[in-house]
Structure 1
C-alpha cells in the first residue's frame, strides 16, 4: 500500500490543479485586483454630461461618452495622456485635437501610434459619420441636432481645459485632421485663431471651390459609399473598411445648396478653407499640409492642397507642405493613397515639428 501513496498524492495534486484550471476558465477562480490605474475623474460642464463609465484601454488611454443638447445621441471622446501625467501632478501639457475622417470615429486614433505621445495630451472627439465639423444648415433631418462646430469649439475644448492639466493657450493647442478632418483642422484654425496656434491638414477636403470636393460632401449626405468611403476611413487597425455615412439626409443639409446660382451656395463660399479671406486669418498660425497624389481621391486632395499652399504664399503666410506623391519617400506602408497606411507615418513625421513648435511657445 505504501508504494501507492506517491501515486495518490500525485493524483490528488493533479486533480486540484485541474480543478483550479477549470475554475479559472469558468471565471470562478479567486479574483485578482485590477492594477490598471483609473483615469482622472472628469466633471460635467460646458453643456456636456457624461454617461456610463469610461472605457479604460490602458493607464493613459481612455474614452468617455457624453451627451449634449447640441447633438442628438451619445458621443465618445477618446483621450491619450502622456506617460508621466499621473507621476508629475504639477506639470501642465500641450494638447493636440485629432479630427477623424468621414465614416470614422474616435477610435480611429488607435491607427496612429504617434498620437499617443509623451509630450502632449491628445483628444479625439466624435465628429459624426458625416458631421463635416459644421453647424448644419438643417437641424430637422433624421439625424436631429447637428451642431458639431459648437460641440467641439465651445464645449469640448473648455471641458478638456477644465478637467485636465493643459496649457490653455493657442501656442500649446493644435489641430491634426485628415480627409473630412483635414477640412475641420484648417477651418477651425481659421474660425478660432484665438484657440489654435497650430494646424495640419492631411489629404484634406480643403477647397470648396472644387466641384469634386463639394461632390464628396454630397456623397456623405446621400450615403453614397463609393471610393471616398471605401478607403478614406478606417477601423482602428487601419484596414480602410467603411460601413457608410449613416442615414440619408437632404443634399442641402450641411452647407445649404451647393449650386452656384444666384448666390445659393453662399454658405459653401463663406466656410471654404481655401478662400483668401479665410486663409488670411492664419497669419499667426503654424500651418502644415500633407497629401499624396495616387488614386481617385488624393489626386484631388493634392490639387486642393496646392491651391491652399499657393494662396498662403500669395498672402505671405509661411507654411509647410509635404507632398509625398506615391508614398515612396514617406513609408513602405504608404502607396500615396487616401488611408492610414499614409496618414499614420505622415503624422509621425509631423509630431516632432509640432513638439518643437510647442516648446518654442514657452
Structure 2
C-alpha cells in the first residue's frame, strides 16, 4: 500500500476513532506534510516519515543506486501551504563527512521563507560521486546518480518548485563543499548557484586526497563535519565513517603515476577544465584559515578563486580568517560556529538572486 493511501486511511481513522485507541501514524495532532509519489527510481519507505513540524519533515527512500534506506530532510517556507498556487526556488544542502541530514539544523538560515531547502543523505563518506568500486562492505554507492538523476526530479515532481537552473542552488560544507562545486560543474543545466563552505575543493592537494583516504579507512578526525543533531554547537566530533573499505574504493589510486589517478583528476573541482563549466553560474566560497583543516581549505579556496578570475568567471570569496569578521562564535575553524553565520550571510544574497530571476 502506498504512503499516500496509508496517510489517507490515518486521517479517516482519526476522524472516526478516539486518538487514544489508534497508533501514532494516525494521531490527529500530527502536522500535515505533502504526500510524495514514488518515481525516478525512488521508493518511499512507508510509515518512516519524521514530521518535526508542518514545514520541517524527513522522508526515507530506497533506490538500487545506493544500498540501504536514505533520508531526505525538507524545510518548507512558512507560506508554502497557505499559497497553493505558488512555486518556490529550491536549494540543495550537502552535509559533510561523518554527518547526516540532521546537520542542517545547525544552520538556521537554511530555514528560509524564500525557498525550499532539501537535504539529501550523502553518506558518511559518499564524496558525492559514483564510486569506482560497487561491491565493498557498504554495497552500491552511486551517490551522484542518486542525487542528480533521482532526488532532484523526485523533488520537482512532488513539491511546488520552480524547476529551472535560475531557481535552483547546490551548497555544501566540508565534504559537501567539494560535492556542491562538483555537482554545479557536472550539471550546469541544473544549478545556477553554488556555494562551498570550508570545502575540500582542490583534489590536487595531497591533504585533500589524504582526507578521502582517511574516510575510506575509517580514520576519524580528518575533515569530519560534526553532526549538529548530537552537538548543536558544532563542537563535538563525528563517530566515524562506517566500515572499512578499500583505499581505492571511491576514486581509485590517488598516486599520480601513469594516469592511475585519472578519476581524482576528472572529479577535481579546482581543475580549470571543470571550473570553465561555471561561466554562467553564481559561485561563492567561504572559509576560515585556522586549525588543522581550514588551513588547507583556505589554500584550496584561494586557488579556485584565482583560477576563476583567470577564466573571467565572476565569483565571491569570503576568507574570514580567524572568524572575528564573521561572528563572535567563529574562531576560523571547521565547525558550525563558523558555518551557521556564513550561511546567515549567504542565504539572503541567494534569496535576492532568486527574486531577481523572477517566477514561472
Task: Give the TM-score taking structure 1 as reference length.
Answer: 0.90
Runs (5+) with no aligned partner, structure 2 = 1-19
Q: Who is 1:8 aligned against?
A: none
Q: Who is 2:131 aligned against?
A: 136
- Structure 2 residue corresponding to 1:45, chosen from 11, 19, 39: 39
Which deviates the most, 85-94 or 35-44?
35-44
Alpha-carbon deviation of 1:34?
3.9
DSSP 3-state at the match of 2:83: coil
After superposition, give the CA deviation of every residue in 1:321-360 in whole Å (9 maximum; x if it has no partner).
Answer: 1000000010111110000000011011000110111111
**Aligned counterparts of 1:45 and 1:244: Cα–Cα separation in 2:** 32
Q: Who is 2:275 aligned against?
A: 279
**Aligned counterparts of 1:170 and 1:335: Cα–Cα separation in 2:** 34
DSSP 3-state at the match of 1:228: coil
**Aligned counterparts of 1:106 and 1:167: Cα–Cα separation in 2:** 23
Q: Who is 1:85 aligned against?
A: 80
**Aligned counterparts of 2:221 and 2:33: Cα–Cα separation in 1:** 39
Indicate if the aligned counterparts of 1:50 and 1:65 stay in contact, CA closer than 8 A.
yes
Q: Who is 2:90 aligned against?
A: 95
Q: Who is 1:235 aligned against?
A: 228
DSSP 3-state at the match of 1:130: coil
Q: Who is 2:206 aligned against?
A: 211
Alpha-carbon deviation of 1:251?
0.6
Alpha-carbon deviation of 1:280?
0.2
DSSP 3-state at the match of 2:223: helix
Alignment of 1:113-262 (within 5 A): 113-229=108-224, 232-236=225-229, 237=232, 238-262=234-258
Alignment of 1:347-358 (within 5 A): 347-358=343-354
Alpha-carbon deviation of 1:227?
4.2
Indicate if the aligned counterparts of 2:214 and 2:222 stay in contact, CA closer than 8 A.
no
Indicate if the aligned counterparts of 2:88 and 2:115 stay in contact, CA closer than 8 A.
yes
After superposition, give the CA deviation of every residue in 1:138-175 in whole Å (9 maximum; x if it has no partner).
Answer: 00101000000000000000000000000000000001
Q: Who is 2:301 aligned against?
A: 305
Runs of 4+ in 1 over 6 A off after TM superposition: none
Task: Give the TM-score taking structure 2 as reference length.
Answer: 0.90
**Aligned counterparts of 2:295 and 2:228: Cα–Cα separation in 1:** 23
**Aligned counterparts of 2:163 and 2:221: Cα–Cα separation in 1:** 40
Alpha-carbon deviation of 1:79?
0.3
1:292 aligns with 2:288: yes
Question: How many equivalent residue pairs?
Answer: 332
Runs (5+) with no aligned partner, structure 1 = 1-26
Indicate if the aligned counterparts of 1:72 and 1:143 stay in contact, CA closer than 8 A.
yes
**Aligned counterparts of 1:276 and 1:35: Cα–Cα separation in 2:** 54
**Aligned counterparts of 1:264 and 1:49: Cα–Cα separation in 2:** 37
> Greater CA radius of gyration, 1 or 2?
1
- Structure 2 residue corresponding to 1:336, chosen from 317, 332, 335: 332
Q: Who is 2:15 aligned against?
A: none
**Aligned counterparts of 1:252 and 1:275: Cα–Cα separation in 2:** 21
Alpha-carbon deviation of 1:36?
4.2
